[in-house]
Structure 1
Amino acid sequence: MSLPPLGEALRFFREDRKLTLRETGRLAEVDHAYIHRLETGQKESPSSEILERLVRVLKPSSRDTEILIYLMAHPSGDAELVRYVLENSSIPIETFEVAYGVRHRGTTRPEPRALIERAQRVIDSEDE
């Protein structure tokens, strides 16, 4: 089952910290079932207070926290790209945002690596 982008990010950070849903919920003082619904896309827009609680427990870097905030405002997108960027911390947030905002025609999507490379070329060409 494919997760939504925000859910992919939350699960990535939770698993990185080796926390269960129940442990995360207890530490963040958020119902674990609500966290599950966020991860699976049954809920999409947590309040900023809930996100702050989750960030406090999941401890993402400042860059990754920016990605979470961005995903709250932009729930529709490519979860595979989100995972790729989270796994590759050298990718700047600006490059992620450009790649995430790309809309595709047809049924095939470029691989995340290709999207990031294209986005970086666009950013580099604007700097010239």
Structure 2
Amino acid sequence: MPQTGLGVALRTLRERRTLSLRETSQLSSVDHAYVHRLETGEKTSPSQELVGKLLKVLKPADRDADLVKWLVDHPETDPALVEFALGDPDLEMDIFTAAAGVRHRGTARPDPATLVQRIRRAFAEDDE
């Protein structure tokens, strides 16, 4: 099963808290197998209620929580972009969502840092 942006985000946030799947499951009252399926991309559309339970346990920063909530409705988001966003706390949600929505011609896709830089430059030009 291909990795999803939501799965990358949940795994990253869980690992930041140094929680195992079972610990996360027990603390959130969400079945550990379901959490695993979300992280691996086998399941892709959890309810907002379930995501809320997980976020309560994972205790991410507000921006990271917003990112996870957004990913629930956007399963096609590039996992590499999600990983990049979680590693850059200064990346604003509007820049992230714009970068996630960019469609690429051909099979080559720019790396997330290049893509984000292009989006920031485009936003800055719009402000001028």
TM-score class, shorter-chain normalisation, is over 0.9
Pairwise CA distance, 1:56? 0.2
Decide whether the 8 Å contact of 2:85 with 2:91 is kept in 1.
Answer: yes
| Structure 1 outlier segments of 4+, above 2 Å | none
Q: Which residue of 1 aligns with 2:38?
A: 38
Q: Which residue of 1 aligns with 2:113?
A: 113
Q: Which residue of 2 aligns with 1:28?
A: 28
Provide the identity percentage: 48
How many equivalent pairs are there? 128
Q: Which residue of 2 aligns with 1:97?
A: 97
Decide whether the 8 Å contact of 2:2 with 2:41 is kept in 1.
Answer: no
Pairwise CA distance, 1:80? 0.4
List gaps (5 residues or longer) in structure 1.
Answer: none
RMSD after superposition: 1.1
TM-score (norm 1): 0.96
List gaps (5 residues or longer) in structure 2.
Answer: none
Q: Which residue of 1 aligns with 2:72?
A: 72
Pairwise CA distance, 1:2? 5.2
Q: Deviations over 1:23-42 (max 9, x none)?
A: 00000000000000111111
